[in-house]
Amino acid sequence: MKAKKIWANFSVKDVARTRQFYTALGCKPNPIGDYPQLASFCFGDDDFVIHFFEQGSQIDEYLPAGSTTSSEVIFTLSAESEEEVKEWETSVKAAEGTILQEAGRDKGGYFTLVFADPDGHKFNLLLIEQGM
């Protein structure tokens, strides 16, 4: 079996708040039509899609509501510079996301930032430098 495309689906409490959060971070909206209970964004050069379905929609049957204490998956986004990681940190704070690990070097020497959106979905922004 060969899948033509892969994307992620999350459950969120307030799709308008989610749309506002990811728009404030500069994420590219996924043009899928007008679905009031869905916000969809593309990430990276390959436009990896993440759908955010509002609780009370069809996704409830398959996904639990967002949690601030645990995560089934954490997405890692690549960064091109330390400055870009710091810009993300500023944007996440301004958009009322939660910083879980401030921008800086981790134990492995990578420059990283870990944050959560308003529903607790976690992301790691990571700079992979030459020679590491």
- Of 10, 44, 65, the residue at which a domain comes to its end is 65
Domain of 96: which CATH number? 3.10.180.10
Each residue of 79-101: pLDDT tens digit?
A: 889 999 999 999 999 999 999 99
* Total-model pTM: 0.77
Q: Predicted confidence band at 53 (pLDDT cuts at 50, 70, 90)?
A: confident
Residues 55 and 97 in one domain: no
In this predicted structure, the answer to whether residue 2 has a pLDDT above a threshold of 80 is: no
Q: Mark which of 32, 65, 98 sits at the end of a domain.
A: 65
List own/partner pairs for 88-97 with CB under 8 A and 24 or more apart.
88/25, 88/113, 88/115, 88/125, 89/113, 89/115, 91/24, 91/25, 91/26, 92/25, 94/24, 95/20, 95/21, 95/24, 95/25, 96/21, 97/21, 97/25
